[in-house]
Structure 1
Amino acid sequence: MEFTRFLDCLAADYDRLRTVVGTDADAPVPTCPGWTVADLSRHVGEVYLHKTVAMREGVEPEAWPPKEFAEEEPTALLDRGYTALRAEFATRAPGTPAATWYGPDQSVGFWIRRMAQETVVHRVDAELATGRPVTPVPDDLAVDGVDELLKIFAAYAVAEWGDYFTDILAASPGRTFLVRAGDAAWRVRTGPGEFTVTDGAEGGPPDVTLSGSPEAVLRRLWNRDGADGGVTVEGDPDAVEELRRCIVVATQ
């Protein structure tokens, strides 16, 4: 996806998120246990401001969020965070250096992509919490979100912070997963200390196949399924659980 496209998606999903969170601040968020819609609003605002600081100062702030944020009304914090984030994006090219947690990409472009994906997932959270119809996720954004989740979150986390996955992967017999999201496909290989991702469906028979529309697969992997799910899963339940647990730990 082009960065201009990410920014357009970010704007559209923020507008929808902002509309929805203003309707029922006390509603529980089923996909974020223990949170209300107000908590969700505060979280997204804090995330936006955190990335703004990372770009401005060239380093990710360690002590976050600042204590004074707790005194700010959640939607006001959300508005302030989004305004600051967009202002920062407007003054920096995607290739400009910026501090990120992902070693291979230390650029503003990383945060443009990440904030577009962060916002669409939390927009879905807000809609589910308030009983609103879930606005469809565009196919290109959903496919990119699956790619980001598998490669940038899960594969990178296992490679860099493998100790967190020992309980999940140490006894793995070595498994292959085929993930299909519309016309896009990825093959995932797991094993002791291993979580690797390659593009495409080619290869031997997988242990697990997970397939559906781009939106359905994105929501399943992020544990934001709808009532009907819309995803077909075929294969060993133990293997399915292994993949699920890896993604849960990688996205905490």
Structure 2
Amino acid sequence: MEYSRYLDCLADDFARLRALVPTNPTAPVPTCPGWSVTDLARHVGEVYLHKTLAIRDGVEAEPWPPAELASEAPLALLDRAYAELRSEFAAHDPQDPAGSWYAPGRSVGFWIRRMAQETVIHRIDAELGVGAPVAPVPDDLAVDGVDELFRVFVEYSVAEWADAFHEILAGSPGWTFTVRADDTAWSVRTEPAVFRVTDGVADAADVTVTGPPAAMLRWAWGRELAGEPSGVRVDGPAEAVAELRRCIVIATQ
């Protein structure tokens, strides 16, 4: 995706999220246990500010968030943070350096992509929290979001912080997965200390996961509601699917 496309998607999903928060601010968010819609708004604002500083200062601030943010009203924080984030994006080229935990992507462009994907997922959280219909997710954004999840979060995290995944993968018999969102497919391989992602269909996959892009994005990020029909079909051993899911959860905590 072009960076201009990410920024357009970010704007659309932020506007949707921002409009939903006041409609039922105390509603629980089922996909973020323990959070209300107000908590979600505060979280997104804190994330935006954190990434703004990562660009401005060249390093990700830790610890985060600072205590003084707790006194700022959630919607005011969200609005201020979004304005500062967009201002920082506008002041830089995507290739400009920025602080990032992801070594291959220490650039402003990395955060443009990441914040577009962060916002669409939390927009869905807000919709589920207030009981609003989940608005469509464009196919290109959804496919990119699945790719980012597998490669940037899980594959990179397993390679860099293998100890965090030891309990999950140490006893893995070795599984192969084909994940297909319409015309795009990923092959995933798990085994002890390994989570490997390649393009295309896996040979003799143990598990196949298929569905349209938006449904696949929600499935991959755990944004489906329990008891509701899924738009994704999963075929294969439950223990293999559980291993994949646990890797995703650890990588995205």
Which TM-score band (shorter chain)? over 0.9
Query: Pairwise mapping of residues 1-252 of structure 1 onto structure 2 (< 5 A)?
Result: 1-201=1-201, 203-226=202-225, 227-252=228-253
Q: TM-score, normalised by structure 2?
A: 0.98
Q: Deviations over 1:200-247 (max 9, x none)?
A: 11x421000001000111100100015221100000110000000000
Code of the aligned partner of 2:165:
F
What stretches of structure 2 of length at least 5 have no aligned partner? none
Q: Which runs of 4+ in 1 moved over 4 A?
A: none
3-state DSSP class of the match of 2:9?
A: helix
Aligned-residue identity in percent:
64
3-state DSSP class of the match of 1:189?
A: strand
Distance 1:142 1:96 in 2: 26
- How far residue 4 of structure 1 moved from its aligned partner, in angstroms, is 0.3
Distance 1:63 1:2 in 2: 32
Code of the aligned partner of 1:88:
E
Distance 1:123 1:110 in 2: 20
Distance 1:197 1:22 in 2: 40
Q: Deviations over 1:14-69 (max 9, x none)?
A: 00000001111100000000000010000000000000001000111012111111
3-state DSSP class of the match of 1:209?
A: strand
Distance 1:229 1:41 in 2: 26
Distance 2:58 2:14 in 1: 25
Distance 1:4 1:229 in 2: 31
Q: Deviations over 1:78-100 (max 9, x none)?
A: 00110000000000000001111
Distance 1:86 1:33 in 2: 29
What is the Cα-based RMSD across aligned positions, in Å?
Answer: 0.7
Code of the aligned partner of 1:245:
R
Distance 1:70 1:62 in 2: 16
Code of the aligned partner of 2:132:
R
Does 58-67 or 129-138 show the bigger shift? 58-67
Q: TM-score, normalised by structure 1?
A: 0.99
